[in-house]
Structure 1
Amino acid sequence: MAFRSRRFNCVGISRPSIQHATALEGHRTNSSNPDTTMLRLGAVSYLNTKPLIETLPERLGQLGKLRLDLPSRLARDLAAGKLDIALIPSVEYFRGGDDYEIISDAAIACRGPVWSVRVLSRVPMNQIRTLALDEGSRTSAAMSQILLAEMHGLRPETVPFPIGSSPDEIDADALLMIGDRAMHPAPAKYKEIWDLGDRWVRWTELPFVFAMWVARRSAVADPEIRQQIETALNVSRDEGMQQFETIAKREAAGHGLTIEDLHRYFAENLHFQLGNGERSGLAAFREKAEHLGLVPASHSPLQD
């Protein structure tokens, strides 16, 4: 995924085009029933989220309103109660503790090479002393540190890899890259390159979950509302997965990809179902991240 100016998210492509017209300053009432409060949902407009939100506004109808924004703002506003439900990175779900719950089995995950998240090292991996972390993905940052710690016993010093910076400007032994630069690196510049999806699955024998739909428990306390929103999110995901080719034809050229490459990315590199294996992978990720102090420790089990 290219595009440092247009980038993939934690696993995905392209910086979002923020649609402020969809933003909500607060709850809006259902026009057909003024006594009903519309749910406030948030997602990013990265390419890897497109299959999840392609038909979501239509599926939500009067139940809720979708806002597109930056992932950091979505996580902040969900925590502050300015959003009710958001598609957020795994580490942000961990930080939410008991206030959050997974509301849908629609997710962004991988079961092997993910293509858009890589560590590129200028020295052998077991000699890394400094690691530059892409500022666009806290989840991938934690993932890379876990793998280096467990596979090589390393806890390298971390430095920022600002959005918009060139790898040549960064003084570090290795760099975590996401997006198009991760997909099309200059191999001659690096001693070793890891696809983190592939490394995680080989090391743990579990899938990796990058992001999922998370709700504030208080917002979905009504069982009927909870079921309706879960159905809308799941159906939207299912419909989006039937439209990989349509999405690829529309989005590929604008992001410097071929239609075939983008279709393959959706169909082969990404997985959009939060199944039992993904939940086990998510639990393993939380445990490992807590052990290294990368996320706050939690005494609550991951919800089934």
Structure 2
Amino acid sequence: MPIKVPDLLPAKSKLQEENIFVMDESRAFTQDIRPLKILILNLMPLKQQTETHLLRLLGNSPLQLEVGLLHTSTHTSRNTSAEHLKQFYKSINDVKANRYDGLIITGAPIEKLPYEEVTYWEELSEIMEWSKTNVTSTLHICWGAMAGLYYHFGIDKYIMDDKLSGIYTHYLTDPQEKLLSGFDEEFVVPHSRNADIRKTDINKVPELKILSESEQAGVYIVASTDGKQIFITGHPEYDAYTLQKEYDRDIEAGLKPRIPVNYYPNNDPAKTPKLRWRTHSNMLISNWLNYYVYQETPYKL
């Protein structure tokens, strides 16, 4: 089934080139189907790139989705034009009276900042509080997961000595969990972050359970026992070249980054990286949409 997006959203043409079924607003208007209403709070600086990443995964679902884009109005984006934001994005004040089947909160490259020093922390806190009553289930990604664990459960992050960047092997800690349905016992996921959350802190909270871990990358998937909050510490939405772009950017910035682990063939940045996590990423999003959103959301929001 298709995802419904605004007619002129730039990501639409890119996804159509990949044969992902995208329906624009004009065509969707003629269909008598109640699509799931999914809202994406996009905190990443390169918003159009993240739009494509997430819509690609959402478009693989057999469910019909109506996707809206949200940004923080208390932060001025330096990497996305004001025209793009005005045309395609809303703020919390625009949507606070609405209800949604699902919400995705993306990461942001600000792990080293204390949460309270983030310029939009107050607004993000408002959005996360609003989500508790207006959203069936929320999926948090990378820094979004750290921020969510801190806001909802008081679990703080820890800054790492070196950036965690690369493709890491993960395993299941609760194979019977619906979110993990169909997963291989081992699978790989991209990570790109400067902070971590600790298993010991999570285990102290009875409302949380760890579903997947990595020996090198640590805790990966955490879920609340009621399924309303899902926390993903990695970046399953990344495409094959996202880590390369970040690596090149860090080199240009003079940060002397380490080569992303298990990313380039033979650890050689001159060679083309291969996409090895798409199956896991599609299954993760499809399971979330099916078991935690579609199966739980009311017919009338």
TM-score, structure 1 length as denominator? 0.31
Q: Which of the pair has the greater relative contact order for Cα pairs under 8 Å at 6+ separation?
A: 1
TM-score, structure 2 length as denominator? 0.31
Could you say which structure has the higher helix fraction? 1
